[in-house]
Amino acid sequence: MKVSLALGLKIIAIIIISFSVISLNKQNIYFMTLKFSHGKPVGRGILLAGDVIGEIYLADHTSELGEGNWVKLSGGFSIRIPTLIFKYGGPFSVAVAREGKRIDIRLRYMSKIFRYPIDTHQMYYVGDYVTATFYGSSILRGQTIEARLIEVAPLKIWGIIKEAMDRGNIIPFRRLLERVTWHKTVRLNNTGDVSIRFKVNRTGDYILVFMKEEKDPHYKLYLYSFTLIKVLKSKVIVDAPFRAKIGDYIDIKVSLANGLPSLGGYI
């Protein structure tokens, strides 16, 4: 079969474009994209997307630590945590109207199940050093991102998320990310990973976020991973027997390291 030069070039172009699209799809590490915009009413209860307020990209996670976009902590002391299984089921695309704003939600999967690959979590005392390793996808190799430590109670995070999803208001979310206790700009290595180290000087609840922001032409947040960090004021030391029989008196000694002395006890 003879093929003309023009037709041959068209076929080659189609093949190149097809492979480019496949490559771009493989490069997409984001599980969910949220696009917030001012709505344009076109009918009862119908809003078309208007001027964009902001976009949030959430990185995908897997059951593997090395490529899963997870953060592993060290330093402090460890506590065991139960096996955590995450499951999602739903549509690829959803558009909702919230108080004059439109939220477009795009997902890569209609369903997915994955496991949290870490079975311990670190806790810290004031003055401890935290080492955190972000195990990013190799697609992120060489990119410059930011690590931010933010003091915030877990329940407040949930309230801020509800504000964004229920009212289309992402201003509290942006303000939260600006309340930085510590931060560092980092460059990911050839496997998309990076380790950081910092000292915690005050008790409280924190989140450590690995992220990137863009503000032109509109706000974009790329959220790669985050983890909770709890800093305790004092260490409780408990001395108790390993075995006892029913009816035995048990002598338990409890001391509070680095705590203020108490004449009447702490309870």
Q: What is the pLDDT of residue 14?
A: 38
Residue 77 lies in a domain: yes
Identify the sign of the CA torsion 88, 93, 95, 101: positive
Domain that holds residue 13: 5-236
Residue 242 lies in a domain: no
CA–CA separation, 137 and 190 (whole Å): 10
Residue 244 lies in a domain: no
Residue 123 lies in a domain: yes
Amino acid at 161: I
pTM: 0.79
CA–CA separation, 158 and 246 (whole Å): 45
Given a cut of 70, the residues of the chain with pLDDT beneath it are: 1-27, 45, 236, 238, 242, 254, 257-267
Residue 246 lies in a domain: no
CA–CA separation, 30 and 109 (whole Å): 11
User: What is the tens place of the pLDDT at every residue in 179-191?
Assistant: 999 999 999 999 9
Residue 264 lies in a domain: no
Q: Which of 117, 108, 107, 59 has the alpha carbon at shortest distance from 86?
A: 117
Q: What is the pLDDT of residue 75?
A: 97
Other Cβ atoms closer than 10 A to 231? 20
Q: What is the pLDDT of residue 20?
A: 34
Total structural domains in the chain? 1
Residue 253 lies in a domain: no
Helix 154-167 to helix 171-178 angle (10° resolution) is 150
Q: What is the pLDDT of residue 181?
A: 96
